[in-house]
């Protein structure tokens, strides 16, 4: 390992360069590496190639740590083995290492991997493929790193780059910059909103506005099926009520559709450096 002024010489014989999110991607040393045909990726991108559980990824300027922690709590309290980390606390490479070290025939270490993802991490994505991805909001930030807010938004939008029809892309429809990205994903697009704006079915679907009464009811939106119609099952609850752990677990089990997730990954790109 070489650090400081000697790090550039260490890049000369590298076959793959993995950088920390805080390292600017356009350093002269890294550009010279790319000119030789060597790929430069980040830790999260490397880790994602070895994860065996579906990934729930959340980004946004504000609120992503709270959201990721809450999702992790929901899963863990429902009896699921969930890893929570990424840009928050434990690096995703720890989950990847646990997956690699798991012995054949044993229970997988995690059923879900819930990650907070930063724009810096998303700059170096190639194969990162979250099953569920969300952008909570985008406000002016990191302008010392990005030439414009458009560049910042583009980095955030990379979270959807590798999603397919079997995935879900959640957009904050009350944030104009976020809502404008709906056409950037191939996944199903269930939006969320406090003002009543909704979007359903496929990427780029039209946005409509619910009545004030429906908005005031606090009624949560349900994901639609891949065909764009409402999924079969029990009617939508008027308000999300506290449930027992057993009931909560059944709700997660009914809606996660892990077999579909695994089927969608059957033809995914190979995991290699």
DSSP string of 59-117? E-SSSHHHHHHHHHHHHHHTT--EEEEESSSS-HHHHHHHHHHSPTTSPPS-SEEEEE-
Of the residues 80, 142, 186, 210, which is catalytic? 142
Does 103 participate in catalysis according to the annotation?
Answer: no
Which contiguous run of DSSP H or E holds residue 235?
Answer: none
Burial bucket for residue 242 (CB in 10 Å: 0-12, 13-18, 19+): exposed
Which contiguous run of DSSP H or E holds residue 41?
Answer: strand 39-42
Of the residues 87, 158, 162, 172, which is catalytic? 87
Of the residues 2, 31, 62, 64, which is catalytic? 64
Residue owning tokens 């300027």: 61
| Cβ atoms of residues 192 and 170 within 8 Å | yes
DSSP string of 159-211? GGTT--TTSEEEEETTSHHHHTTGGG-SSB--EE-SS-EE--SSTTPPPEE--
Which contiguous run of DSSP H or E holds residue 232?
Answer: none
DSSP string of 76-89? HHTT--EEEEESSS
Does 64 participate in catalysis according to the annotation?
Answer: yes
Q: Which residues have a catalytic role annotated? A: 64, 87, 142
């Amino acid at each position: 390992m070489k650090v400081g002024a000697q790090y550039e010489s260490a890049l000369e014989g590298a076959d793959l360069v993995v950088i920390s999110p805080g390292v600017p991607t356009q350093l002269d040393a890294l550009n010279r590496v790319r000119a030789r045909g060597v790929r430069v990726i980040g830790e999260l991108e490397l880790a994602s190639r070895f994860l065996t559980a579906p990934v729930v990824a959340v980004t946004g300027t504000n609120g992503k740590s709270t959201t990721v922690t809450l999702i992790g709590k929901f899963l863990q309290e429902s009896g699921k083995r969930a890893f929570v980390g990424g840009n928050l606390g434990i690096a995703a490479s720890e989950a990847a290492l646990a997956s690699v070290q798991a012995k054949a025939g044993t229970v997988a270490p995690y059923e879900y991997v819930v990650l907070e993802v930063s724009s810096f991490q998303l700059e170096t994505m190639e194969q990162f493929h979250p099953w569920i991805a969300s952008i909570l909001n985008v406000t002016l930030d990191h302008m010392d790193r990005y030439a414009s807010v458009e560049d910042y938004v583009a980095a955030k939008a990379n979270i959807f780059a590798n999603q397919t029809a079997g995935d879900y892309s959640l957009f904050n429809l009350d944030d104009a910059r976020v809502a404008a990205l709906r056409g950037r994903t191939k996944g199903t697009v269930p939006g969320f909103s406090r003002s009543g704006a909704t979007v359903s079915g496929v990427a780029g679907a039209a946005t409509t506005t619910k009545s004030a009464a429906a908005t005031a009811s606090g009624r949560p939106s349900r994901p639609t099926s891949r065909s764009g119609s409402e999924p079969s099952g029990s009617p939508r609850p008027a308000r999300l009520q506290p449930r027992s752990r057993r009931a909560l677990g059944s709700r997660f089990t009914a809606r996660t559709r892990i077999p579909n997730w695994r089927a969608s990954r059957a033809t995914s790109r190979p995991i290699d450096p």
